[in-house]
A = this chain, B = another copy of it.
Amino acid sequence: MSLSTLARLAGVGKATLSGLENGTRNPTLETLYAITAQLGVPLTAVLSGPAETPTVRGAAVGATLLEVFSDTDATYELYRMRVSPGPAQLSPAHQAGVTEHVTVFSGVLRAGPVTAPLTAGPGEYLRWISDVPHSYAAVGDEEVRASLLLRYPRSTTVES
């Protein structure tokens, strides 16, 4: 799925999607709904994602995570992740049995359990059990682009 096609399918502008992925936009609820509806995921999947970014501006919430996929049984979710240079982003523990798989495309990422973070460069891969608090941080000045796969032990309801 490319930015262009997603924009066309969801009926939103390419500029909107582009700015949204880069965190330079503060999306409208209607915009978010159009995108997530097209992707077939609930709104909550984008908002309360695994890498909660406790930023001052609410705009940054969920901004680093977009373009979400999930299978019909909701046993995994694939996020596209961007981590900007700066302090590490923290994420609380998820439910028991959840595993995170991260593949780095560009930049150097230091992530994993806060007690024992791991480091990965372009093309490299990380994995950890995410039932403990964990963090994400970019090493150096370069922004990190990576994919993040969450695997749930069993089909978990994404209901309210």
Q: Which residues of A contact B (CB under 8 A)?
A: 26-34, 37, 42-44, 47-50, 52, 57-59, 61-62, 92-95, 157, 159-160
Q: How many copies does the complex hold?
A: 2
4 smallest A-B Cβ distances: which pairs? A33-B58, A48-B160, A30-B58, A44-B44
CB-based nearest B residue for A157: B95
Which residues of B are found within 8 Å of A52, using beta-carbon distances? 160
Evaluate contact between A32 and B58: CB separation under 8 angstroms: yes
Which of A34, A47, A157 is packed against the most chain B CB atoms within 10 Å? A47
CB-based nearest B residue for A30: B58
Evaluate contact between B29 and A62: CB separation under 8 angstroms: yes
Instruction: Tell which of B27, B37, B160 touches A44, judged by Cβ atoms closer than 8 Å.
Output: B160
